[in-house]
Amino acid sequence: MKFHVAVEVRLREGIADPQGQTIERALPALGFDGVEGVRVGKMIRFELDAPDAAGAQREVDEMCERFLANPVIEDVEVTLT
């Protein structure tokens, strides 16, 4: 079975996000007031061939743990469709 995988990698809560802070400070200059809590992450998308959803999930979890994210500073959210 072919799965569409989306891995959202984001900085863990409590880890400072210099990019997010810069964007947050820039928005009011464009007239967008009231924005708070801007966090910048990345989205990694790919297709994966796996026998079933559980197997695909296991494989993606391992990819995240070993490579796609750094658990010291990042969390991931995996979406399989």
Partner 1 sequence: MTARVGVVVFPGSNCEYDVVEAVEAVGGTADLVWHGDASVSGFDAIVLPGGFAHGDYLRPGAIARFSPVMGAVAEFAAAGGPVVGICNGFQVLTEAGLLPGALQKNAGNKFVCAPVGLRVESASSALTNRATVGAVLRIPVNHGEGNYTCDPETLRAIEANGQVVFRYVENPNGSMGDIAGVANAAGNVVGLMPHPERASDLLLGSADGRVLLESLLEAARPRARSQPA
- Which residue number, 35 or 40, has a Cβ lying nearer to partner 1? 40
DSSP string, the chain: -EEEEEEEEEEPTTS--HHHHHHHHHGGGGT--S-------EEEEEEEE-SSHHHHHHHHHHHIIIII--TTTEEEEEEE-
Determine, following the binding rule CB under 8 A, whether residue 70 of this chain makes contact with partner 1.
yes
Determine, following the binding rule CB under 8 A, whether residue 15 of this chain makes contact with partner 1.
yes
Determine, following the binding rule CB under 8 A, whether residue 11 of this chain makes contact with partner 1.
yes
- Which residues make up the interface to partner 1 (CB under 8 A)? 11, 15-16, 18-19, 22, 67-68, 70, 72-73
